[in-house]
Structure 1
Amino acid sequence: MGALPRAALALAALLGVSSAMLEVHVGVSSIFSVEGQQVVLPAWYTSRSQKKPYVTWLVDKEDADPFQILTYLDGVVKVEETELKPRLGFLYPVLTHNISVFINSTRESDSGQYMCTVNVVDDVTSTGKNVGVINLTVLVPPATPTCQLHGDPAVGANVTLSCTSEKGKPSPIYQWHRTAPTLQVFFPPAQDQVKGTLKLTNLSLDMAGVYVCMAENRAGSAECSVILEVHSTSTKAVIASAVLGSLCALATVVIVALRVVGYWRKKRDSQEEAANEIKEDAVAPKTPSWARHPASDTLSKTSTFSSLAREKPYGAAPPSDTASVLTAAGSYRGPHQPRHGGRTPNLSPPPPAAVNGTPQRRQDPQGSLPPAGLTRAGAVPVMVPAQSRAGSLV
């Protein structure tokens, strides 16, 4: 753009208007720039004076009054605006009559109406001829948009896809399309290019795929995508049934486990109660009847048993398995005694003779017959085990 003022100056010289009155010219009335790029505001002036001019650049924004941003006075360049100081300056030396300015790394806030004025000491001008105006618009490309799915993508249902970009100047236009293998571009009324929405009605399984939204304006474009997975209601029912079945199976296992534990606890408690009842019902062993008799009776029974144990069978008859019997009258009946005529012969020796008129007790050579007094004292017949030849009990 810097070549345009030079061409205009050259044309003016050829036409012989170099001696005309002071006047400011601009290359264009409006200019656009993309955020982050450099912009040049083209301007130049004509004058017949050779003295140094006084040049001023101002900006008028919608939200503020006009204010100076750049000046040239007595050969000194001064940037008045702090925000623009490292980014603003004259593109060429002012004495060349080219007063174009540049702005580096433009921002959206740089947008506005820029005015330049020129004054020369010994030159005259008509009103308004020494002022040039250029409108600058800094464009902002769309930010990466956000894609969202609204609704349940089931067969036969309706869903809405939305696309929104947080910034962009001018406001971006949105365009939806579905990618390969089924490429499809959507138009109104299915989609709203201003709001960025796309409505899909009566979904079917073949409508599934990747949907891409592109946000675009004069400064650039950006895009996002969303995956649409259409599912059938039967699939949802199968999933719900599987989950319900798993829960029921788990509940059954828990119930069975609780019942088994309760059964074993009940069985254990029953066994413990039965053992406690047996212990409580147990009766101490009774004392034998013979242990309750007086000591004298016990002694007489012991003596009688001892006498019988030492008694040998009458004669030399061999021992028998049949026990000897002590009768209630105190007589002794040996084993295997022969019977004569149904009566037992009296084999006892004759009573001893009296000595000095006093009857003598018969002495049993074996000392095994019990005395008659034991019978009168209440002795009872006792079965005595037979003895072997060695004298041991059989």
Structure 2
Amino acid sequence: MGALRRAALALAALLGVSLAVLEVHVGTSLVYSVEGQQAVLPVWYTSHSLKEPYITWMLNKEAAPIQILSVMGGKVKVEETALKSRMGFLYPITTHNISVFINTTREQDSGQYICSVNVEDDTVKNVGLINLTVLVPPAAPTCQLHGNAVVGANMTLSCSSKKGKPSPTYQWQREPPTLQVFFPPAQDRARGTLKLTNLSLEMSGVYVCRAENQAGSKNCSIVLEVHSTGTKAVIAGAVLGSLGALATIIFFAQKFVGYRRKKRDSQEEGANEIKEDAVAPKTPSWVRRPASDTMSKTSTLSSIAGTRQAYGARAPSDTASILTTTGSYRGPPPRGGGRPPNLSPPAVNGTPRRRQDPAAAPVGSLPPSSLARAGAVPVMVPAQSRAGSLV
């Protein structure tokens, strides 16, 4: 380019023609910016012409360059919608400094920017190129454990970030009081994995992963707790035992509540139910028997009593008694063959005789008051002969 310009100037001098020279200068061809910050694309031009320039800025994407900013007749126009409120010139156009800024940069702002300047009197056109790269800091990574944390086993710790440009690298370390930094092959910085082999109880602790790139870094941490197999089995057994005991208590409680409810319901139904088919109580057989049967039993008892002891004989005991068929108490027979003191005398010609005065009862018989206190009930007994037959 310099040789061509010198040749043009030499030719113009030989021909005596005045020729203005235009040249575009670029401060740097590579510009880096962090997402969310401002990016500056430094460009200026030189020209001896006093005419206003025509300036255009284009962004070269994968498909084709698109015009994003232009200056014509001193008026600035931003044509890209995404950059309309974020892009502009740093200085007035009259200073020949045509550097632009982009506020709050985004990842999609990355690309090749092309600046071209045209002046009416200048016969030479020049173009400036700048590559912009917007860096994206890593997002907060996620730490995970893979494997069984028991003594003697192997485990893998993983760390990954869903966002970051360029792709972040990862670094694992164990936090104090036992500080430990890991290196390959145990650690894979690109994948973010850390392999721990032959675990021991001393390897328990807090492990921190740092994801980083040129834009920044973010951390995540995870707690590794190594257990012995015996401890784990004891804990599992205790948990299962507690659950079994709780299930047993609940089962018996439900059974007890159901039994009480069933018993209460049955009692309420029995109290409210009217039993129409209930069987009447049976009448004792002795009530249905005729009076002749009763009389025959009385005669038989009397006969037995007469055969065992003759009239006039002394009773073995003054307290001996005979239980009648009606359940009344009958005292011992009187001495001398007299009638029982508690019985009425037999009737003569249909007229009952007067009851003997208790005071006149033979000696050895119980008075009526004693019989009454004993619960005796007067019973009509037919008169008997000495042979035991009814009179």
Q: TM-score range by the shorter chain?
A: 0.5 to 0.7
Equivalent-residue separation in structure 1 for 2:250 and 2:94 (angstroms): 98
Paired with 1:115 and 1:254, the residues of 2 have a C-alpha distance of 80
Residue 362 of structure 2: aligned partner:
320
Maintained 8 Å contact 1:160/1:198:
yes
Query: 1:96-117: CA deviations, max 9, x gaps?
Result: 1111101000000000000000
Structure-2 separation of matches of 1:255 and 1:141? 59
**Corresponding residue number in structure 2 for 1:310:** 354
Letter in 1 for 2:85: P
Secondary structure of the residue aligned to 1:168 is: coil
Q: Which amino acid aligns with 1:132?
A: G
Taking the TM superposition and a 5 Å limit, the aligned residue runs for 1:104-119 are 104-119=103-118
Any conservation in 2 of the 1:57–1:116 contact (CA below 8 Å)? yes
1:205 aligns to 2:201 (yes or no): yes
Alignment partners' CA distance in 1, 2:76 and 2:135: 29
| Counterpart for residue 29 of structure 2 | 29
Q: Could you tell me how far apart the structure 1 residues matched to 2:348 and 2:89 are?
A: 156
Say if 2:346 and 2:382, in contact at 8 Å, map to a contact too.
no
Instruction: Determine whether 1:290 maps to 2:291.
Output: yes
Q: Distance in 2 between matches of 1:68 and 1:32?
A: 21
Q: Does 1:141 align with 2:183?
A: no
Structure 2 residue 172 is the aligned partner of structure 1 residue 176:
yes
Q: Return the offset for 1:20.
A: 5.7
For 1:1-394, list aligned pairs within 5 A.
21-62=21-62, 64-125=63-124, 130-246=126-242, 284-287=284-287, 290=291, 303=347, 309-310=353-354, 318-321=360-363, 326-328=383-385, 380-381=390-391
Quote the RMSD (CA, aligned, Å). 3.6
CA contact (8 A) 1:213 1:224 kept: yes
Structure number, greater radius of gyration:
1
1:282 and 1:326, CA in 2 relative to 1: closer, same or farther beyond 3 A?
Answer: closer
Q: How many residue pairs end up in the alignment?
A: 287
List, as ranges, runs of 4+ consecutive aligned residues in structure 1 with deviation greater than 2 Å: 240-259, 279-283, 287-294, 301-309, 321-330
1:347-389 deviation line (CA, Å, top 9, x unaligned): xxxxxxxxxxxxxxxxxxxxxxxxxxxxxxxx814xxxxxxxx
Residue 246 of structure 1: CA displacement? Answer: 3.9
Q: Residue 48 of structure 1 aligns to a residue in which SS?
A: coil
CA distance in 1, matches of 2:147, 2:64: 50
Is the Cα–Cα contact under 8 Å of residues 20 and 46 in structure 1 kept in the other structure?
A: no
CA, structure 1 residues 255+213, in 2 after alignment: closer, same or farther (shift >3 Å)?
closer
Aligned residues of 2:20 and 2:49 also touching (Cα < 8 A): no
1:281 deviates by 11
Q: What secondary structure, in the 3-state scheme, does the structure 1 residue paired with 2:81 have? A: coil
Q: Distance in 1 between matches of 2:82 and 2:244?
A: 71
Cα pair distance change 1:211/1:304, threshold 3 Å = farther
CA distance in 2, matches of 1:39, 1:312: 147
- Paired with 2:187 and 2:163, the residues of 1 have a C-alpha distance of 20
Paired with 1:255 and 1:122, the residues of 2 have a C-alpha distance of 103
Structure 2's unaligned 5+ residue stretches are 1-18, 263-278, 296-344, 367-380
Amino acid at match of 1:189: P
Determine helix, strand or coil for the equivalent of 1:310.
coil
Of all paired residues, the percent bearing the same amino acid is 60
The aligned amino acid for 1:320 is: P
Q: Gaps (5+ residues) in structure 1?
A: 1-18, 266-278, 295-300, 331-378, 382-394
